Structures are given as structure tokens and as C-alpha cells.
Amino acid sequence: MMPKMKTNKSAAKRFKRTAKGKYKRSRAYANHLLTKKSPARKRRLRKSTLVHPTDEKRLKKLMPY
């Protein structure tokens, strides 16, 4: 019998699986040098978004469950 696939813990902390099997991620550029960014831009950075479909295959290898 083959051994179980291990979940990559760094990926598991950064991404969450949605009910439809896609991956949710937080946006980049939101943690420093915030004074030059507009309030509207900072508001948009607070929201999460989905991982691009071309990267989903990679994430399936890192997080098989």
C-alpha cells in the first residue's frame, strides 16, 4: 500500500478550500508602505480572492485533501 500524501503546511496556512473545490487566498501588498496607497486600494486589499485556475493544479499537489 502506498503511503498517504502529506499536506504542505505552509500552503495550508495560506489557502482555504471553498465548497466548490476552488482555493481562496488573501491579497498581496497589504502589510507595509500603506501611507502611499489610497484608502480605496487598501479596502480592496482586505478582501480575499480566488487563486487563478492555472495555479490550482499546483495547489492540488500541495494540499491533496
CATH 4.10.410.60 corresponds to the domain 9-28+36-62: yes
Query: Rounded to the nearest 5°, which phi and psi values hold at 49?
Result: -145, 175
The full set of domain ranges for the chain reads 9-28+36-62
pTM score of the predicted model: 0.81
Q: How does DSSP classify residue 26?
A: P
CA atoms of 31 and 28, how far apart (whole Å): 8
Residue 48 has a pLDDT of 96
DSSP H or E run through 23: strand 23-25
Residues 4/19, Cβ–Cβ less than 8 Å: no
Residue 64 has a pLDDT of 84
Residue 58 has a pLDDT of 93
**Which triple of cell numbers denotes residue 29?**
501588498
Residue 65: which pLDDT band, with cuts at 50, 70 and 90?
confident
CA atoms of 55 and 25, how far apart (whole Å): 12
The tens digit of pLDDT for each residue in 4-47 reads 889 999 999 999 999 999 999 999 999 999 999 999 999 999 99
